[in-house]
Amino acid sequence: MGMPVTIEVVDSHATLQDFEQVFDCFVAIDERFSTYKESSEISLINNGALPEEEWSNDMKEIMVACEKTKLETHGFFDIAHNGLLDPSGYVKGWAIQQGATLLQKAGFQNYYVEIAGDLQVAGYNSEGQPWVIGIRNPFNGEEVIKRVALENKGMATSGTYIRGQHVYNPHNASEKLTDIVSLTVIGPAIVDADRYATAAFAMGAEGISFIASLPDFEGYQIDAKKMATFTPGFNQYVLS
């Protein structure tokens, strides 16, 4: 989907084939879910060329999960846009999770899988320490404003400072989301951290409260006035 991918496996028995298996998985997901490819399954669905009874199992799984997320987020996560379906807001986190699951099934215990800043980590880094992840200053991309230490967690950031206004409020599609510029979510699994980050960002200033209401999830939000707000348990991850 035109996004950079990084995979690191610390375990010494990792081979090139293990990395290729994960990248092949990502390519297959892109071929199925990319809205930029006319031959993708999601494009065929949107063009009316593929009836629901012929959808792949992956597509059915994603559609059910997106509808579930819509209900959980009171409609702030909605993949329907102008009569078309675009599950990209769910698929990226799901793809990272698929890659991480492949590594886990291969017996690896220490790894890092990232697509465009969203990531899943397991175990420890090459120094035998928790994975250290930086949260960028949305007003200065060269500056890291927080460093967090993660073990067996997923982390996703939703914002407008890199890709512009690509998230919208489904309850008012014409409204530009300008109150919040960055919202980072940490949770047990990236597939959930990513979907909740997207929905919470669409909620505007109320998004961080939504994240705080979720068991096992923490968030860090930066608004247009450069003020940071975070959930009560976020500091447990922050490095001093």
pLDDT in tens, 26-83: 999 999 999 999 999 999 999 999 999 999 999 999 999 999 999 999 999 999 988 9
Question: d(Cα 62, Cα 224) in Å, to the nearest integer?
Answer: 33
Q: What is the Cα–Cα distance from 105 to 107, expressed in whole angstroms?
A: 5
User: What is the residue-averaged pLDDT of the chain?
Assistant: 93
- The CATH homologous superfamily to which domain 5-236 belongs is ApbE-like domains (3.10.520.10)
pLDDT digits (tens, 9 = 90+) for 183-239: 999 999 999 999 999 999 999 999 999 999 999 999 999 999 999 999 999 999 999
The number of beta carbons lying within 10 Å of the beta carbon of residue 31 is 12
pLDDT of residue 159: 83
Give me the residues paired with residue 80 across strands.
85
**What percent of the chain clears pLDDT 70, i.e. is strictly above it?**
91
Per-residue pLDDT reduced to its tens digit, 75-98: 999 999 889 999 999 999 999 999
In this predicted structure, what is the pLDDT of residue 141? Answer: 86
Q: What are the sequence ranges of the domains in the chain?
A: 5-236
